[in-house]
Structure 1
Amino acid sequence: MEITQSGRRGPARRTRATLERLAAERDIWVSTAHPEHGPHQVPLWFLWDGRAVWVCTAETSVTIRNVRADPRVRLALPDTADVVTLAGRAECFASRDVPEEAAEAFTDRFGWDPRAATKPHVYVRVTPATVRAWHGVPELRGRVIMRGGEWLGRAPETA
């Protein structure tokens, strides 16, 4: 992603840019940890539904094992020059239990329906409690744009 802005964005501009990226990007780094096996990080396709991030992976994956042991997760968009990180709690849904709206949106976005996979898959919904966004040193201060599940800066309606 190319950064064309210079200077420091305020909370509203950061929030708007973050929401646009969450709606547009396909890949997100998912970081989990298990009390006995330690940390694990993997890139997965994701869907932002306006309130939460949805990912899907095999039922036997390390990610699912870890989330079931400790639902705290961290997520990061892949661009290290324009950083967006989310921290929140994950909730697992077997394919048969996932809300239809989420499963259909995931299928529409990626052209793949995990419910029809030969091996069982689990959908994971991560509801963010904290979101940080910044690009460059000028934005290190004030990088928290969501705290306690509440956006700190209202995204303006227009650019």
Structure 2
Amino acid sequence: MTEREAARGPEERKQDTLDRLEKDEDVWVATSSADGVPCLVPLSFVWDRGTLLMATRRTNPTAVNLTPSGQARVTLGHTRDVVLIEGTAEVVEGADLPAGSGGAFAEKLHWDLRGRPAWVYLRLTPHAVKAWREVNELAGRELMRDGTWLV
């Protein structure tokens, strides 16, 4: 897309975002340690019950960083088609997942972590979502605020 193309309206932008959440497999996850050391990693995910469900080893910095505050940012896409999600994440043991969530993760990603004690799931509940492609979409990039879709 170039700047000369028309900006998407809010409804189209929201639908494009929901489509990406259903179809994409990987996100960049940004967290920081209690003393402010940043961490950025790619993780596979599934969009499950209005949340992003990811997984990592329980000792990896991303899981450890979520324990104090639960705050994280994730991004989908590249610099010319961004979805930026801010939310609260929690570390969830596989046995504590809602029925079907572990199966949805395994089915989409062909990677079943259930019964692997070194791994935990991370469930991120979005409270802000922004999406834009070019400068002409910056003004209308906010799609969710305080956990509520604006469109």
Shorter-chain TM-score: what band? over 0.9
* 2:143 counterpart (142, 145, 149): 145
SS in structure 1 of the partner of residue 104 of structure 2: helix
Partners of 1:135 and 1:78 in 2: how far apart? 10
Partners of 1:136 and 1:88 in 2: how far apart? 24
Partners of 1:37 and 1:17 in 2: how far apart? 33
Is contact 1:95–1:120 with CA below 8 Å preserved after alignment? no
Partner of 2:86: 87
Partners of 1:78 and 1:10 in 2: how far apart? 19
Normalised to the residue count of structure 2, the TM-score between the two structures is 0.93
Q: CA deviation at 1:70?
A: 1.8
Partners of 2:17 and 2:5 in 1: how far apart? 16
Partners of 1:26 and 1:61 in 2: how far apart? 20
The equivalences for 1:1-150 within 5 A come to: 3=1, 6-36=5-35, 38-117=37-116, 120-150=118-148
- RMSD (Å) for aligned C-alpha atoms: 1.6
SS in structure 2 of the partner of residue 74 of structure 1: strand
Q: CA deviation at 1:63?
A: 0.5
Q: Which deviates more from structure 2 when the two are superposed, residues 64-73 or residues 34-43? A: 34-43
Q: Which deviates more from structure 2 when the two are superposed, residues 143-152 or residues 89-98? A: 89-98
Query: Which residues of structure 2 form unaligned runs of 5+?
Result: none
Partners of 2:75 and 2:34 in 1: how far apart? 22
Q: CA deviation at 1:11?
A: 0.8
Structure 2 residue identity aligned to 1:141: A
SS in structure 2 of the partner of residue 114 of structure 1: coil
Query: Which residues of structure 1 form unaligned runs of 5+?
Result: 154-159
Is contact 1:29–1:78 with CA below 8 Å preserved after alignment? no
Partners of 2:23 and 2:136 in 1: how far apart? 25
Q: CA deviation at 1:69?
A: 1.7
Aligned residues: 150
SS in structure 2 of the partner of residue 7 of structure 1: coil
Partners of 2:38 and 2:99 in 1: how far apart? 31
